Amino acid sequence: MLKRLILILAAAAVVLAAQVAAPAALAAPQPAARVELTKMMGRWYEVARLPNKIQHGCQAGASDWTPTPEGFAVVQSCHRGAPDGPLAEWKAKARALDPGSNAKFKMSFFGGLVSQEYWVLDQRADEGWLILSTHDGRYLWLMSQKPILPAAFRIEAIARIRQLGFDPARLEFPLPSRG
């Protein structure tokens, strides 16, 4: 039990250190439109991301959103080093902060020791993708409802990332799941 607590505290320290030590970023653009919360449910696959220390070496990333009475239970996962490498998971609780648009979420990790605000900057439910960013614009993810985002939608989503003021040349494209 003590070993697990030490691991949780160490992981929380890494998350906090990454937030403090990272270079200042411009504020993220405001979310584009209202997010239908039922469209957030289920599995989202990571297509692209801005580099971050927590996900260094992560491949085949995914986020599973399950509704709860308070919002969502979220399990973020990836495989270290390769799509079939060791599984790493982060569990979080998420709740919408803005009932008018449902596009801003507060996520808490490690039993509430660490929290972060995330914004859905754009969501194309008909095409099965969304762009998610931290509130400060420091980190960004392109997520898809399918393991592989069709090329035309991927091109459109990356163009949208550029329109939002992010540099697509900085994006990492982790390998997708093989299964």
Q: For residues 32 and 124, which has the higher predicted lDDT (pLDDT)?
A: 124
Between 35-44, 70-79, 152-161, the lowest mean confidence (pLDDT) is in 35-44
pLDDT over threshold 90, residue 20: no
**Percent of all residues in the chain with a pLDDT value above 90, rounded to a whole number:** 69
d(CA 81, CA 84): 8
pTM: 0.83
Specify whether the CB–CB gap between 49 and 141 falls below 8 A.
yes
Q: What is the pLDDT of residue 128?
A: 93
| DSSP strand pairing (87-96 vs 129-134) | unpaired
Domains of the chain: 31-170 (2.40.128.20)
What integer is the mean pLDDT of 55-78? 95
Q: Could you tell me how many residues make up the chain?
A: 179
DSSP string of 5-41? HHHHHHHHHHHHHHHHHSPP-PPPPPP-S---GGGG-
Q: What is the pLDDT of residue 22?
A: 40
What integer is the mean pLDDT of 107-134? 93
